Amino acid sequence: MLNPRLDDLMTYPFERLARLLLGIEPPKIMAPISMSLGEPQLAPPAFVATDMAAAAPDWGRYPPNRGTPGFRGAVADWLKARYGLPDGFIQGDTNVLPCAGTREAIFMFALAVVPPAKIRDGKALRPAVLMPNPLYHVYSGGAVLAGAEPIYLPARAENRFLPDFRGLRADLLDRVALAYLCSPANPQGSAATMEDLCSAIEMAIVHDFVLAVDECYSEIYDRQPPVGALEAAASFGSRRELAREHIVVFNSLSKRSSAPGLRSGFVAGGEKAIAAFAKLRNFASCQTPLPIVTVAEHLWRDEDHVRATREAYRARFNLAEQMLEGRYGFYRPDGGFFLWLDVGDGEEAAKRLWAEAGLRVLPGAYLCPDEPELQAPGTRYIRLALVHDLETIGEALTRLRRVLN
């Protein structure tokens, strides 16, 4: 007997890609280059290894579920400095929790906040969860397994690739228990503005839902540091605590510190949501081992390595701009490390790039739900992760131009 909701999960994008390319051989004369996976290739700072070695005695201790006061304090201080938050707006002990990478937290958070029914004006309504389309598939997984209806909001070029909550009907908004937003977005790299975020928070207040903002690309920005949801909440003046109670943000060391293997992130936001999540995590969480918590605390307190990382990605986008400007709808994203190229037919382009150039890219439609009618915002695109060294990226983009010209 299995949970039938598992059948409603989106197919994992890389599973679809493996199926698409099954049986297609890349050319033998060139080494394949994979740009489908967003895995940073830069080295994490050297102190990760030395701190970890120094903390080795802590491998013998059970890690506390809520991390350490030092970790939570480092995150609270980072959020305050990064977003100019008022004193005490985010407190380590009540507004912050560690997580084993944001993936598990994004998924499990839905289980903590989606009720069996949303009660509005005495009526029990089926809960709904809003999310962008294309999307990081975990948003939909969380919604589906929490028993909610996932509502996919198209994120298209004409809306700066951001989902538009403003056009939604009030009766749908009344059913919303949770809304996921990704800023800067994966795959398109658009950052929500202060106005976008304030308007989404206002809706969360009026319709009584939690806005969960995935900010895991917040530090990989091109020109302006993206506005954060906590920054937007702090701008609500005398209503700022109310605003904060309707949001959480997720952030991670995977992109900022090029350390996806550490599996370390945090969730921060409203006291009630954080307390509910802490309660759930007493049963369901994978605690972060103490040596990792110690390293993570150091990483959140160090900006030097993050500045260097940003420069490294800027150099990659400079190269991509030189090679692709004026082609395939190239643009420099506000943040993140992906190219989102309009190639007309993403699946066809992915097959040809693999067959003719040994270049593995992800069709945009694979970041959309499986239903054919929900694929439109992705079908024309391919996503390329600009994570390799400059030479490899130069070679990859040369091959791409040769095949798609």
CA distance 211 to 205: 9
Residue ranges in 204-233 that form contacts with ligand PLP under rule CB under 6 A: 214, 216
For tokens 């008022």, the residue is 86
- Could you tell me which residues come within 8 angstroms of residue 352 by beta carbon, excluding any fewer than 6 positions away? 403, 404
How big is the site for ligand PLP, counted in residues (CB under 6 A)? 14
Residue ranges of E strands in 134-193: 149-154, 176-182
Examine residue 252 and tell whether it contacts ligand PLP (CB under 6 A). yes
Q: What's the alpha-carbon Rg for the chain, to the nearest Å?
A: 21
DSSP category for residue 373: G
Q: What residues form DSSP beta bridges with 176?
A: 128
Q: Select 39 or 325, whichever has its Cβ closest to ligand PLP.
A: 39
Exactly one of 82, 103, 281, 383 binds ligand PLP (CB under 6 A); that residue is: 103
Q: Select 26 or 187, whichever has its Cβ closest to ligand PLP.
A: 187
Examine residue 155 and tell whether it contacts ligand PLP (CB under 6 A). no
CA distance 138 to 101: 12
Going by C-alpha positions, the residue among 176, 101, 187 that lies closest to residue 136 is 187
CB of 267 to ligand PLP, least distance (A): 11
CB of 200 to ligand PLP, least distance (A): 17
Contact 176, 130 (CB under 8 A): yes
Q: 137 is written with which tokens?
A: 């598939």
CB of 39 to ligand PLP, least distance (A): 8
CB of 335 to ligand PLP, least distance (A): 11
Residue ranges in 326-385 that form contacts with ligand PLP under rule CB under 6 A: none
Exactly one of 13, 26, 38, 63 binds ligand PLP (CB under 6 A); that residue is: 38
For tokens 């989102």, the residue is 340
Side by side, the strands of the sheet bearing 247-252 are 96-99, 265-269, 247-252, 210-214, 176-182, 128-133, 149-154
Examine residue 265 and tell whether it contacts ligand PLP (CB under 6 A). yes
Q: Select 38 or 369, whichever has its Cβ closest to ligand PLP.
A: 38
Q: Select 102 or 375, whichever has its Cβ closest to ligand PLP.
A: 102
Q: Select 26 or 44, whichever has its Cβ closest to ligand PLP.
A: 44
For tokens 């937290």, the residue is 105
CB of 102 to ligand PLP, least distance (A): 4
Q: Select 252 or 288, whichever has its Cβ closest to ligand PLP.
A: 252
Relative to beta strand 33-34, strand 338-342 is unpaired
- Please write down the HEC assignment for all residues of 184-244: CCCCCCCCCCHHHHHHHHHHHHHHCCEEEEECCCCCCECCCCCCCHHHHHHCCHHHHHHHH
Q: Select 100 or 234, whichever has its Cβ closest to ligand PLP.
A: 100
Residue ranges of E strands in 100-200: 118-120, 123-125, 128-133, 149-154, 176-182
Exactly one of 101, 141, 333, 369 binds ligand PLP (CB under 6 A); that residue is: 101
Q: Select 89 or 161, whichever has its Cβ closest to ligand PLP.
A: 161
What does residue 316 show for φ and ψ, rounded to 5 degrees? Answer: -65, -40
The distance of Cα 301 from the centroid of its chain, to the nearest Å, equals 21
Exactly one of 260, 261, 329, 394 binds ligand PLP (CB under 6 A); that residue is: 260
Exactly one of 36, 68, 95, 102 binds ligand PLP (CB under 6 A); that residue is: 102
Binding region for ligand PLP (CB under 6 A) out of 9-17, 101-109, 354-362, 387-395: 101-109
CB of 194 to ligand PLP, least distance (A): 21
DSSP category for residue 159: G
Task: For CA atoms 5, 6, 12, 15, give the dihedral sign.
Answer: negative
Going by C-alpha positions, the residue among 234, 231, 230, 299 that lies closest to residue 268 is 230
Exactly one of 182, 200, 229, 268 binds ligand PLP (CB under 6 A); that residue is: 182
CB of 326 to ligand PLP, least distance (A): 28
Dihedral class, residue 268 (left if φ above 0, else alpha if ψ from -120 to 50, else beta): beta
Examine residue 254 and tell whether it contacts ligand PLP (CB under 6 A). yes
Residue ranges in 135-154 that form contacts with ligand PLP under rule CB under 6 A: 136
CB of 157 to ligand PLP, least distance (A): 19
Point out which residues bind ligand PLP (CB under 6 A). 38, 101-103, 106, 136, 182, 186, 214, 216, 252, 254, 260, 265
